[in-house]
Amino acid sequence: MTSALNVAPHHERVSLLSPSSGYENYRGFLNLIYVILGIGGCRLVIENILQYGLLIDFNWPIKFLKDPTHWPSVFLIVLVNFFILFEFWLELRLSKIHILKSRITTTCIFLQFINLIVILIFPAIYVYYRQPNPVGAFFAIFIYTIVLLKLFSYLHINYQCRQALFQRKNDSRRNSNASKGRIVYPGNLTYKNLYYFMFAPTLCYELNFTHSLRIRKGFILRRCMEILVLASLQYCLGQQWILPILRTIDRPLNQYSTLENIERLLRLALPNHLLWLIFFYVYFHSILNLLAELLYFGDRYFYLDWWNATDLSEFWNRWNTIVHHFCKRHIYKPLVIHYGFNKFIGSLVVFLISAFFHEYLISVPLRMLRPWSFLAMIVQVPIGIVVKRISLENKTYGNLAVWISLILIQPIAILLYIQDLFYRDFVKDKIYT
């Protein structure tokens, strides 16, 4: 009893919230943030409904089926098979040519690149003249872009296989590979192999993909439920939260005061970023994992921890590893290794191509050639330099700077597109009528 009383109640210690304490368990504060966000979200939902009423159109799927103007996008998607099969026919022709460099070989390779160029141009012309619904047009253009990149990888790898085949002199080695059950060129040139790649969640072609052992029914059910629930949530949030903000734009942005533009930007930033986060999860996790499971596709590394990125270059390398691997394999490495360009030029070319396709995916469905999405990508170069310097000083501040740039850049581009759409669809009509 006496010894217990003699124990000193105090000794040198630091408070838990001090940086030197080494304490890192802030789970309770994280739960508090969840509660605050939940309460704030409920308040915003109630306030939005009280102000605008219920704006969600639940009959959209029925309207889509009844309105034939939505269908051209479906027809456009079906037509993409023509380009896929034409590329397959050219590869079959090339596989039967026993001379590496010949006139027929050159002609077929030339037609392959013409095919890729037409894949890029044809849907733009189709959308411009048929004028389908922009949402349906976006999905069609998105699919054409994916097919373009996949076919580029397909012809690139098959070209390398042809070169290796002509250079290989040891036929016994080739036969031993085939005996192990692995596909070797030209045994990969089948409809099944090509269309497996077209549906597989990757842009990089391989003759032999890594496969999983079985299909998990519970996994498929969870992914389907995620897609259904989160896609519906996206649709509801877009109609109920974002459209009312965009509809307040009734004149060019330069006719509003600076404070009005800033207020509208900040009001749009939160719901837009929320939709972007939902899109990331639905597409990169739910949809791609669903495809991979159905196709026994083994490589599920579709994204890295981009949310921990401390500069913008880290973010772009992590958030979409499918595109990152394609660019590194088919653009960056050939430029740097085979053609002798320095790494800066290789990275710049990759970034410019990425910026082009971002603009292509927006401008073509809207039938409106504008540079806003392209510039939103380009402006990230100087911003990235600043964020990189911040990250060198403090990685936490670097991560915060990445989040701020992601939240604010997209709404600026959206407001500029909406302004141009308003001018095209309303102001011009009033002028000419």
Q: Tens digit of pLDDT for each residue in 293-320? A: 999 998 898 999 898 888 888 888 888 9
- Alpha carbon separation from 309 to 143, 284, 386 (Å, rounded): 29, 17, 14
Q: What is the pLDDT of residue 289?
A: 94
Q: Which residues are catalytic?
A: 358
Q: From CA 42, how far away is CA 37, in angstroms rounded?
A: 8
274: closest CA among 56, 57, 29, 44? 44
DSSP tag of 297: B
pLDDT per 10-residue tile (average), the chain, 433 residues: 57 71 74 79 76 70 63 84 95 82 85 95 91 86 95 94 75 51 86 94 92 90 92 84 79 80 85 88 93 92 89 87 93 90 88 90 87 84 83 83 86 80 58 39
Q: From CA 192, how far away is CA 212, in angstroms rounded?
A: 18
Contacts of 402 (CB under 8 A, 6+ apart): 309, 310, 311, 312, 314, 315, 387
Contacts of 383 (CB under 8 A, 6+ apart): 312, 405, 409
Q: What is the pLDDT of residue 133?
A: 80
207: closest CA among 221, 193, 222? 193
Contact 148, 112 (CB under 8 A): no
Please report, for the chain, the start and end positions of each structural domain, with discontinuous segments joined by +.
67-167+185-199, 212-301, 303-322+357-426
Contact 231, 282 (CB under 8 A): yes
Q: What is the pLDDT of residue 5?
A: 55
Q: What is the pLDDT of residue 433?
A: 41
Q: From CA 81, how far away is CA 70, in angstroms rounded?
A: 20
Handedness of CA 323, 325, 328, 329 (dihedral sign): negative
Amino acid making up residue 126: Y
Q: From CA 195, how far away is CA 19, in angstroms rounded?
A: 55
Q: What is the pLDDT of residue 7?
A: 56
Both tokens of 80, joined, read 């993409």
Q: What is the pLDDT of residue 323?
A: 93
- Match 């500069």 to its residue by tokens: 311
Q: From CA 269, how far away is CA 420, in angstroms rounded?
A: 19
Q: Is the peptide bond before 371 cis (omega within 30 degrees of 0)?
A: no
Q: What is the pLDDT of residue 39?
A: 82
Q: What is the pLDDT of residue 3?
A: 55
Q: What is the pLDDT of residue 167?
A: 76
Q: What is the pLDDT of residue 60?
A: 67
